[in-house]
Structure 1
Amino acid sequence: MVEDNNTKNDSTKVYANKVAMDIEVPDTAHQISSDSWLQVAFVLTTGMNSAYVLGYSGSIMVQLGWVGGVVGLVLAVAVSLYANSLIAKLHEHGGVRHIRYRDLAGYIYGKRAYTLTWAMQYINLFMINTGYIILAGSALKAFYVLFRNDDQMKLPYFIAIAGVACGMFAICIPHLSALGFWLGVSTILTIIYSVIVIVLSIRDGIRSPARDYSMPGESSSNVFTIIGSAASLVFAFNTGMVPEIQATIREPVVKNMMKALNFQFTIGLLPFFLIIFVGYWAYGSSTGTYLLNNVTGPVWVKSLGNISAFLQAVIALHIFASPMYEFWDTKFGIRGSALNIKNLSFRFVVRGGYLIFNTFVAALLPFLGDFMSLTGAISTFPLTFILANHMYLVAMGDKLASSQKLWHWFNIAFFSIASLVATIAAIRLIVVDSKTYHIFANV
Structure 2
Amino acid sequence: MKDTGAKNRTGDVSVGEHFDIEVPDTAHQISSDSWFQVAFVLTTGINNAYVLGYSGTVMVPLGWVGGVVGLVLATAISLYANALVAKLHEFGGKRHIRYRDLAGFIYGRKAYCLTWGLQYVNLFMINCGFIILAGSALKAVYVLFRDDHAMKLPHFISIAGLFCAVFAIGVPHLSALGIWLVVSTIFSLIFIVVAVVLAVKDGVKTHSRDYEIQGSPLSKLFTITAAAANLTFVFNTGMLPEIQATVRQPVVKNMMKALYFQFTIGVLPMLAVTFIGYWAYGSSTSTYLLNSVTGPLWVKALANISAFLQSVICLHIFASPTYEYMDTKFGITGSTLALKNLTFRIMARGGYLAVSTLLSALLPFLGDFMSFTGAVSTIPLTFILANHMYYKAKDNKLNPMQKIWHWLNVVLFSLMSFAAAIAAVRLISVDSKNFHVFADL
Report if TM-score (shorter chain) is over 0.5.
yes
Shift of 1:372: 1.1
Letter in 2 for 1:169: F
1:89 pairs with one of 87, 90, 93? 87
Secondary structure in 1 aligned to 2:145?
A: coil
1:157 pairs with one of 141, 146, 155? 155
Secondary structure in 2 aligned to 1:239?
A: coil
Q: Tell me the distance in 2 between the aligned counterparts of 1:371 and 1:430.
A: 7
Aligned residues of 2:141 and 2:304 also touching (Cα < 8 A): yes
2:105 pairs with one of 104, 107, 114? 107
1:201 pairs with one of 199, 202, 211? 199
Letter in 2 for 1:252: P
Q: Tell me the distance in 2 between the aligned counterparts of 1:432 and 1:141.
A: 25
Secondary structure in 2 aligned to 1:316?
A: helix
1:334 pairs with one of 332, 340, 343? 332
Consecutive unaligned residues of structure 2, counting only runs of 5 or more, are: 6-13
Consecutive unaligned residues of structure 1, counting only runs of 5 or more, are: 6-15
Residue aligning to 1:369: 367
Aligned residues of 1:20 and 1:108 also touching (Cα < 8 A): no
Q: Deviations over 1:68-95 (max 9, x none)?
A: 1111111111111110000000000001
Q: Deviations over 1:109-154 (max 9, x none)?
A: 0011000000000110000000000000000000111100011111
Residue aligning to 1:2: 2
1:179 pairs with one of 177, 186, 191? 177
Residue aligning to 1:56: 54
Shift of 1:2: 2.5
Shift of 1:368: 1.3
Q: Tell me the distance in 2 between the aligned counterparts of 1:442 and 1:234.
A: 29
Q: Tell me the distance in 2 between the aligned counterparts of 1:430 and 1:17.
A: 40
Q: Tell me the distance in 2 between the aligned counterparts of 1:330 and 1:350.
A: 12
Q: How many residues align?
A: 433
Shift of 1:349: 0.5
Residue aligning to 1:246: 244
Residue aligning to 1:283: 281
Q: Tell me the distance in 2 between the aligned counterparts of 1:367 and 1:95.
A: 45
1:118 pairs with one of 116, 120, 129? 116
Runs of 4+ residues over 4 Å off in structure 1: none
Distance 1:401 1:215, change over 3 A: same
Q: Tell me the distance in 2 between the aligned counterparts of 1:47 and 1:27.
A: 26
Residue aligning to 2:232: 234
Q: Tell me the distance in 1 between the aligned counterparts of 2:323 and 2:171.
A: 10
Q: Deviations over 1:29-76 (max 9, x none)?
A: 000000000000000000111111001111111111111111111111
Residue aligning to 1:301: 299
Q: Deviations over 1:241-263 (max 9, x none)?
A: 00000000000000000000010
Q: Tell me the distance in 2 between the aligned counterparts of 1:361 and 1:42.
A: 29
Shift of 1:215: 1.2
Residue aligning to 2:8: none
Aligned residues of 2:4 and 2:21 also touching (Cα < 8 A): no
Shift of 1:412: 0.4
Aligned residues of 2:202 and 2:280 also touching (Cα < 8 A): yes
**TM-score (structure 1 length as normaliser):** 0.96
Q: Tell me the distance in 2 between the aligned counterparts of 1:304 and 1:100.
A: 37
Aligned residues of 2:16 and 2:107 also touching (Cα < 8 A): no
Secondary structure in 2 aligned to 1:163?
A: helix
Q: Tell me the distance in 2 between the aligned counterparts of 1:119 and 1:55.
A: 28
Q: Deviations over 1:327-369 (max 9, x none)?
A: 0000000000111111111000110000011111111111111
Q: Tell me the distance in 1 between the aligned counterparts of 2:57 and 2:439.
A: 19
**TM-score (structure 2 length as normaliser):** 0.97
Residue aligning to 2:316: 318
Q: Tell me the distance in 2 between the aligned counterparts of 1:151 and 1:234.
A: 36
Q: Tell me the distance in 1 between the aligned counterparts of 2:368 and 2:224.
A: 13
Residue aligning to 2:70: 72
Aligned residues of 1:211 and 1:284 also touching (Cα < 8 A): yes
Secondary structure in 2 aligned to 1:435?
A: helix
Aligned residues of 1:34 and 1:248 also touching (Cα < 8 A): yes
Residue aligning to 2:413: 415
Letter in 2 for 1:394: K
Residue aligning to 2:23: 25
Q: Tell me the distance in 2 between the aligned counterparts of 1:213 and 1:417.
A: 28
Quick check: 1:129 aligned with 2:99? no
Q: Tell me the distance in 1 between the aligned counterparts of 2:301 and 2:61.
A: 28
Shift of 1:19: 3.8
Residue aligning to 1:9: none
Letter in 2 for 1:191: L
Q: Tell me the distance in 1 between the aligned counterparts of 2:240 and 2:103.
A: 13
What pairs up with 1:357-396 in 2 under 5 angstroms? Answer: 357-396=355-394
Letter in 2 for 1:161: I
Distance 1:200 1:151, change over 3 A: same
Q: Tell me the distance in 2 between the aligned counterparts of 1:134 and 1:216.
A: 27
Letter in 2 for 1:231: A
Shift of 1:3: 4.5
Shift of 1:17: 6.5
Q: Tell me the distance in 2 between the aligned counterparts of 1:59 and 1:364.
A: 22
Letter in 2 for 1:101: Y
Q: Tell me the distance in 2 between the aligned counterparts of 1:62 and 1:337.
A: 49
Secondary structure in 2 aligned to 1:146?
A: helix
Q: Deviations over 1:381-439 (max 9, x none)?
A: 10000000000001001110110000000000111111111111111111111111111
Residue aligning to 1:189: 187
Aligned residues of 2:3 and 2:19 also touching (Cα < 8 A): no
Residue aligning to 1:11: none
Residue aligning to 1:10: none
Secondary structure in 2 aligned to 1:63?
A: helix
Letter in 2 for 1:81: L
Query: % of aligned pairs identical?
Result: 68
Secondary structure in 2 aligned to 1:57?
A: helix
Letter in 2 for 1:254: V
Q: Tell me the distance in 2 between the aligned counterparts of 1:106 and 1:18.
A: 6
